[in-house]
Structure 1
Amino acid sequence: MESSGNTGYAADSAMAGRFAGVSGVAESLVENLSIGMVMVDNEGTICYLNQMAERILQISRQDVVGKRVYMLPLKTAIYKVLGENCRDYPVEMNIHGLVVQARATSVICREGACLGDMYELRDITAERREQRKSDEFVASMTHDLKSPLTVMLGYLDALVGDPKVLAGERAAQCVAEIKRSGHRLQGMIEDILDSYRLDAGLVEIRREFCNIGKVLAECCADLAQDAETHGIAFSCTVDPAIPIVKADAKQIGRLFSNIISNAIKFTPKSGEIKVSGFMDGTDIVMEVSDTGIGIPAKDQERIFNKYFRSAKVKGYKGTGLGLTICKALAEEHGGSIEVASSEGEGSCFRVRIPTESQSP
């Protein structure tokens, strides 16, 4: 049996004859599997490795095929794998910087005899990395959800515990802070729920006649006060020529609000934010530019990824889901979102919604 591009698979190996009947197509399939395969016979002799096994274990089959497992150097990756008891359940191990899951299963011939064990090697490094991000997100989110709740409960205790507070101006301040923290808590919970809905394919876009220019103007009116409170100059211009289209006003409004809120969050005092809505050909464009902290070039391709938060924003509260949701909502309307940014100089987010696919 020939090995695809690997003359080192010894044709005169004592075990090679057992697999001689395998067709060339089947051999090619095994050779090009995305998982590593290692065959060991009943006497502990290594019979076969496919290309992925060579890559994961960083070893050439010429060096091991025909050898018994106990003859291998103890510190090699292949000895580490084959020396594990992974028949009953898969075992995870670190090999050359990869997280590899190994599992052994018996190979039974048509006559019912056991030919040996086949070891499956799966590179699950990316999966474990994503799981770690998810775990870190849950830990961070638990803390962030508790913060506004603690603030709300503290002010409620002040209102209930001191009758004088209820009668004074302090009451209005307490209520305002409770309301602000409540909205913040609600926003984070909605992000989590929408993230789940996106993963499950449950986000529903309800298209109705919608004035996107008006939606943008209302978002700006709601958030202008927030920018002023943070000492940020805020301006908004909306082209009255933006047409009425069929879109989900609520989801579009959420998209706009998320981007504008981000600009406010990451722009320091005395900074400036400019929001504009205009037509570019047949596209409705919403643009938000700021003089904030900016986004490092190496992070700009990843900021729309789920849970991703740049090291630059460490210390800023957030779920790491907002931009992921914004991108999904823009794409659900047939549009797109892009960013241009320079670290330390600010960012410009641009959302495009085509009118052709959203026309009444």
Structure 2
Amino acid sequence: MPGDIRTDAARGGSRDTTDSIGSAVRRDRKAIFGLRNPLKAGVSLAAVSLLAGVAPVAALDLTTMQAEMSVATSDVIQVAVFAGIMGAALLSAIWLIRERGRIAADNLELRGRLAEQNTALQRAESLLNLNDQRLVVWMKDRAKPDVVGSLGLAAGVPEERATFLAFGRWLMARSASQLERAIAELREKGRTFELVVETQRGSLLEAHGRNSASNAIVRFVSLSDAQTEHARLRAEHISLQSEYETIRGLIDALPMPFWLREIEGRLRWVNPAYAAAVETGETADVVRDGKELLPTSVRDAIAARHRDGKLFEQTVSTVIHGDRRLFSVVDYAGREGIAGIATDRTEIETVREELRKVQRSHSETLDQLTTAVAIFDAHEKLRFYNQAFQKLWDLDVAFLDSAPANALLLDRLRTDGRIPEQPEWRRWKEGVLSAYRAVQSQEDWWHLPDGRTIRVVANPHPAGGVTWVFENLTERMDLESRYNAAVRVQGETLDNLAEGVAVFGPDGRLRLSNPSFAKLWGLPEELARPDTHIKAIRAACELTAKDSPWAGFAADVTGFADERRDRRGQVEMNDGAVLRYALINLPNGQVMITFVDVTDTVNVERALKDKNEALQMADQLKNDFVQHVSYELRSPLTNIIGFTELLSLPDTGPLLQRQREYLDHIGSSSSVLLTIVNDILDLATVDAGIMELDIGEVDVDRIVKQSAELIAERLREHGIELDVDLSAAPQRFRADEHRVRQVLFNLLSNAVNYAPDGSRITLACRGKGGLIEFSVTDEGPGIPAEVLDTVYRRFESRANGGRRRGAGLGLSIVKSFVELHGGQVEISTGKGRGTTVTCRFPSEPDAMRPAAE
């Protein structure tokens, strides 16, 4: 059985060998499939093939050997391994030879392709250079771009890569900005572009931006003449399109109505402001409906202007939203259409009108000033001056209206000798004109050759120019000098016044007093000093007066009185003296009290009052006597006149001649006496204010004849002629006929009394300016100047060359009655040229006026 045992061992060894080979094959497979190198993979495959081929043989040999003889297991394994290795090496060698041939063929093919690619690259570069173009390529994984191609220096494009990529160095600013913005959008958003850019030399290039999966490419191409012209037109078109869109957007945003019309005048396009002005929501509706902003008359005027080939530019009015507005309309007509714009100038014109009014008001205000003002503009030209400026320098208005320069004006004043001569005239003038370059106001004093002192103030304007103010301080300085002198004189005057003066402040303390104040009230020296309170002065003064007013003075001075008002009065002192005081409130809150010793005046006043009362009583007695006697005399006189006339009648009996003469004298004397009594009664009635005029129609011709008849006997007695001139007299006027007759009778009687025998008296009447003038002229000696002032006094009777002295009531009666009618009396006289008395009556007296006494 040993053989069986070997067989099992052989089988066991066979299984182990088979497992070992399987493990090796698995390891080789893992190695083969895990290798990436083709050569290593080939060797592993050969080893696997060798092992696969040796394994059946080994199994067969083992079986045979087991059958035929017994061989050691280790020898078999070694033989098998060696045979497998040799087979694998052989297979690997064969595989390697085949792979090497295939790789050589691939390499040869790759070299051909590489040669072809190099040839294509060279051809592409040649084509790029041939077409004057340049590419800039940005790879996805690289930030730094590649630059390919050339554009030539003639186009102004730099060859250097860094300089070329700095587009702003060789392109125009606008083109560089557009290009950089387009490249950024190309790289970030993949947005392609086509631009025409302009170099700083004026050449045009086309820039095309394209984007692929891995690259961003910008191609710059030089253009031919035709292409350049096309590109230029295209650039201009783009620019114009951009400008058109910008202008269109601006016009749409403008608040001013804008419109485009066909050449025939029909609306083609309007902006929103136009639509809002015509109260339409959409601009298309305005164009469709043809709504017009301007009235028909304005459109006709525009059309007429365009037919003459001129631009219409005018301010017109139209109604917008119910309000009348002013628009500045500019309307232009081209070959293909018409464009217009309207600017609302309502507020501007309103503000301009207000500005004109303000400037006119300022000019009128400055013209009323006594201070000279001149305004120069930024070019040192005179633009405004007031009347005080022209009067100050006494310059021609024509010269000032010619807008002279400030330097020329100074030279003119120097030539005329109106400003002081300066040692260095040029430097002084430059100093004056430096005000135009100053920021703050400048002030100077000019002492003119004529003695005037002028304060000159230069106020520079923020926008240029200077306002010159010339203030004449001559009078002010003179007034200050006079004021100071007046203060000194006033002090001396107050100290020497007999009138006591005391001035108290609002605090009740004495501010000012003179020695007479202390003397009148007997105040000690320490109380009459300034700052003494009125309380102390009141206590001292109340002891010297019977009814002291100092309590009221203290209330007024300290402000405790109910009302601040001036008052006057007098106080009696204990020694019998009388002081008259006046309390005057001064504007600055102070109070001045003055005291005057009126003891003598009071005594005289008392005496005068007593005398006046006595005179009034005597006058009253006189008036009573005159009235009583006058009324008592009238009745006897009437009886005497009546009996005289009765004795003169033939029925009474014959009378001797001498008796008749006596009766005539008795009658005439009685009539004169009755006239005097009547005059006295009339004057008494006038003085009492109880006389009433009986106003009615007065026939001028009749009243003149009646007055002449009353004086006819005396005229014949002295051979005096009476001329009556009524050529310019009215037929009648309204007055008291009886009083007018009395006036004329007294005038004629007075003229007859002073007219020489055989002379002439003229009585004239005429209407003049609503008045009736009666004038009586005699050829007498005239009235002396010293007597003329007393001719209207009553009972002032003087002969003055007259035949007889009357009662002195004639002219008094005349003046009283004429003034009662609202008229006046005028006397024209002179020594040796007679006297004319003119009485003027109103033709329509409206009211009775008081007569002169």
TM bucket, shorter chain: 0.5 to 0.7
Aligned pair in 2 of structure 1 residues 321, 167: CA closer, same or farther (>3 Å)?
closer
Per the alignment, in what secondary structure is the counterpart of residue 606 of structure 2? Answer: strand
Matches of 2:809 and 2:581 in 1, distance apart?
Answer: 40
Q: Which one of the candidate residues 719, 733, 744 is aligned to 1:245? A: 733
Question: Are 2:548 and 1:15 equivalent residues in the alignment?
Answer: no
2:753 corresponds, among 249, 252, 265, to: 265
Rg bigger for which structure? 2
Among 9, 30, 38, the alignment partner of 2:569 is 30
Q: Distance in 1 between matches of 2:576 and 2:613?
A: 32
* Residues matched between the structures, number: 276
1:129 deviation in Å? Answer: 11
Cα distance change, pair 259–196 in 1 and its aligned pair in 2 (3 A): same
C-alpha separation between the residues in 2 aligned to 1:316 and 1:123?
40
Q: Deviations over 1:286-331 (max 9, x none)?
A: 1101122322223323322334445847994322222222112112
Residue identity matched to 2:780: G
CA displacement at 1:266 relative to structure 2: 2.2
Tell me if the contact between 2:828 and 2:837 (Cα under 8 Å) persists in the aligned partners: yes
Letter in 2 for 1:323: L
Distance 1:21 1:220, change over 3 A: farther
Instruction: Measure the CA separation in 1 of the matches of 2:667 and 2:775.
Output: 29
Quote how far apart the aligned CAs of 1:334 are: 1.9
The reply to whether residue 281 of structure 1 matches residue 769 of structure 2 is: yes
C-alpha separation in 2, matches of 1:259 and 1:131? 32
Q: Is the 8 A contact 1:216 1:277 kept in 2?
A: no
5 Å matches for 1:1-360?
6-7=500-501, 8-9=516-517, 10-11=520-521, 12=523, 14-15=543-544, 18-22=548-552, 28-30=567-569, 39-41=572-574, 44-49=575-580, 78=600, 100=604, 102=606, 122=609, 166-239=654-727, 241-309=729-797, 312=800, 316-357=804-845
SS in structure 2 of the partner of residue 219 of structure 1? helix
Aligned partners of 2:799, 2:500: CA distance in 1, in Å? Answer: 45
Query: What is residue 109 of structure 1 aligned with on the other side?
Result: none
CA contact (8 A) 1:191 1:319 kept: no
Q: Distance in 2 between matches of 1:46 and 1:314?
A: 57
- Native 8 Å contact 2:579 2:596 kept in 1: no
Relative to its length, the structure with more helix (as a share) is 2
**Structure 1 289/27 Cα, relative in aligned 2: closer, same or farther at 3 Å?**
same
Residue 350 of structure 1 and its aligned partner are, at CA, apart by 0.2
CA contact (8 A) 1:295 1:341 kept: yes
Change (3 A) 1:101 1:5: closer
Instruction: Confirm or deny: 8 A CA contact 2:579 2:597 kept in the other structure.
Output: no
- Amino acid paired to 1:20: W
TM-score normalised according to structure 1 size? 0.61
Following the alignment from structure 1 to structure 2, what is the Cα–Cα distance between the partners of residues 207 and 339? Answer: 26
The answer (yes or no) to whether the contact 1:228–1:234 under 8 Å persists in 2 is: no
Letter in 1 for 2:549: F
Judging changes above 3 Å, is the alpha-carbon distance between structure 1 residues 62 and 236 closer, same or farther for their aligned structure 2 residues? closer
Please list every run of 5 or more consecutive structure 1 residues that lacks an aligned counterpart in the other structure. Answer: 32-37, 52-60, 66-77, 83-99, 104-120
Identity %: 23
CA distance in structure 2 between the partners assigned to 1:249 and 1:15 by the alignment:
69
Cα-Cα RMSD: 4.4
* Cα deviation digits, residues 153-177 of structure 1 (max 9, x gap): 9x97xx89xxxx9433334323322
* Aligned-pair CA distance for 1:123: 9.3
State how far apart, in whole Å, the 2-side matches of 1:315 and 1:234 are.
18
CA deviation after TM superposition for structure 1 residue 251, in Å: 0.8
Query: Residue 219 of structure 1 contacts residue 256 of structure 1 at CA under 8 Å; is this kept in 2?
Result: yes
The secondary structure found in structure 1 opposite 2:548 is helix
Matched-pair contact (CA < 8 Å) for 1:340–1:349? yes
Aligned partner letter, 2:694:
R
Q: Equivalent residue of 1:237, what SS?
A: strand
> Following the alignment from structure 1 to structure 2, what is the Cα–Cα distance between the partners of residues 278 and 320?
28
The residue type paired with residue 572 of structure 2 is M
User: Matches of 2:598 and 2:825 in 1, distance apart?
Assistant: 52
Farther-moved stretch of structure 1 (282-291 vs 308-317): 308-317
Query: For the residues of structure 1 that align with 2:572 and 2:736, how far apart are their CA atoms?
Result: 56
Number of the residue aligned with 2:7: none
Q: Which amino acid in 2 is paired with 1:18?
A: S
Higher relative contact order (CA 8 A, sep 6+): 1
CA drift at 1:181? 1.1
Question: Judging changes above 3 Å, is the alpha-carbon distance between structure 1 residues 306 and 123 closer, same or farther for their aligned structure 2 residues?
Answer: farther
More off after superposition, 311-320 vs 272-281: 311-320
Q: How has the CA–CA distance of structure 1 residues 314 and 350 changed in structure 2, closer, same or farther, with 3 Å as cutoff?
A: closer
